[in-house]
Chain A
């Protein structure tokens, strides 16, 4: 199956700093990538859709200025948590699809990033 790589797997930072998370599609091109957030023992919540070469589309209630998304190439999307605070601590997961919009479209997920803000 298609491989999506996410880095770092774990990050601890001080309150007020910014953290960048990378998501790469290793063996396919992805015009669209998705960013999810997950709290302990909760389901995945879609945050935003990252579009190559254009602005990301954010879900309702997600702060655009807090969670900056850049999709500069067909294999890389980044999520930057700006001025992080303890309430931003969460598990962040990216995903991508090699056949966007097709009948058999499947999402492939990265391994996730555990962000802890002190």
Chain B
């Protein structure tokens, strides 16, 4: 079983739709969680950290469920510019150091006009 698993998609949604991705992780000792965004043939960029109580940044909401060991990303009112691959990233400690992170394979989102 992979340490961090994501549905690769693609998720094809119309503009304005709400879409949600889940990501499961296997290490129950994981302490830090992130979503990165990667545009086609570009580098990953941090989208948002995921906090225990859940957090929101504009149209994006991230949730953590420790009991079931998954995190989720909800995107409301999808824009064409949201089309990208979303990487779930889990840290083995309270650190964002690259050597402590495990990246999921990514979920591809395509927003259509």
Please indicate whether A and B come from the same complex rather than being unrelated chains: no
Give the B-binding residues of A (Cβ under 8 A).
Answer: none
